[in-house]
A and B are shown apart, each in its own frame.
Chain A
Amino acid sequence: QKEVEQNSGPLSVPEGAIASLNCTYSDRVSQSFFWYRQYSGKSPELIMSIYSNGDKEDGRFTAQLNKASQYVSLLIRDSQPSDSATYLCAVPLPNDYKLSFGAGTTVTVRA
C-alpha cells in the first residue's frame, strides 16, 4: 500500500463549480497534513495545512480531515480558471524527516 494515495485524475470542472480532491494515507500516527498546488512548469506551493479533525477554511479552499478514516480532502469552491493546476497531498512520516507526497490530481477549470 502506498503511503499517500490521491483520487485519480484528471478532474475537469466548469467555472464556478466545486472541485473535490481526496487523499488517503497509511500511517495512523500522522498528525499533520498538507495540500500543495503546482502549476505546470512551476514548483509546488503550500496552500493549506491541517492538523485537527474537522474542516479548515481559507478563502475558497476548505480542507477536511478525518483521522479515524485516514482521509483528508480539499474542496475548491467557486472554481476559477486560475485554479487549473496539479494538487498534491503531503503527509510527513513520523520520525522519518520526510514528506510523503501523493501522485497529484490535475484539475482543469473550464471557462
Chain B
Amino acid sequence: KAGVTQTPRYLIKTRGQQVTLSCSPISGHRSVSWYQQTPGQGLQFLFEYFSETQRNKGNFPGRFSGRQFSNSRSEMNVSTLELGDSALYLCASSLLHNEQFFGPGTRLTVL
C-alpha cells in the first residue's frame, strides 16, 4: 500500500507570496492532519480534516488555511508569507486510534 505523498518536496518563496501544499493520504484513510516543524518549536499542530470537515485547528494565524477534497486529498495554503514560515510542513493520515502516518514533508524556505 502506498504511503502518504506530499508535493512539492521543496519550495522557495519570497516574503509576501502565497503557497499551496498538497497531501495525498494512504488509501482508505479519511483523516488528514497538518503540522509545522521548526528547530525551535518542534512539531506544531496546524489542522485536522475528516470527510472534508475541519475538526480542529491549531494556534496559527488566519494566513494558514486548508481544505480536504472528497477523495480525502488535502491542501494547505499560506498567504502573505513571512520569514518565520520557513519550516518543514508535514502531513499525516490516520485510520484508527489516531495512529498517524507521516508523509515525507515539504520543506518551505521563505527569502
The chain A residues found within 8 Å of chain B, CB to CB, are 31-32, 34, 36, 42-46, 49, 51, 88, 90, 92, 96-101, 103-104
Pair B97/A97 contact, Cβ less than 8 Å: no
Expressed in whole angstroms, the Cα–Cα distance for A2 and B31 within the complex equals 25
Say whether A92 contacts B97, CB under 8 Å. yes
- With CB as the reference atom, state the residue of chain A lying closest to B104: A43
Residues from 23 to 42 in B contacting A, C-beta threshold 8 Å? 31, 33, 42
User: Complex Cα distance A44/B56, Å?
Assistant: 21
CB <8 Å contact, A104 and B33: no
- For B, the interface residue count at a CB cutoff of 8 angstroms equals 22
Residue of A nearest to B55 (CB): A97
Contact residues in B for A32 (Cβ distance below 8 Å): 97-99
Which residue numbers of B lie inside 8 Å of A, CB to CB? 31, 33, 42-43, 45, 48, 50, 55-56, 58, 88, 90, 92, 97-105
Let me know if A42 and B104 touch, CB within 8 A. yes
Distance in angstroms between the alpha carbons of A88 and B43 in the assembled complex: 10
In the complex the two chains form, what is the Cα distance from A1 to B31 in whole Å?
Answer: 28
- Expressed in whole angstroms, the minimum distance between the Cβ of B34 and any Cβ of chain A is 10
Cβ A99 vs Cβ B97 within 8 A: no
In the complex the two chains form, what is the Cα distance from A89 to B55 in whole Å? Answer: 23
Closest to A32 in B: B97
Report whether A101 and B42 are in contact in the complex, using a CB–CB cutoff of 8 Å. yes
List 12 extra interface pairs beyond A97-B98, A98-B48, CB under 8 A: A32-B98, A34-B100, A43-B102, A43-B104, A43-B105, A45-B102, A51-B97, A96-B56, A97-B55, A98-B56, A99-B98, A103-B42
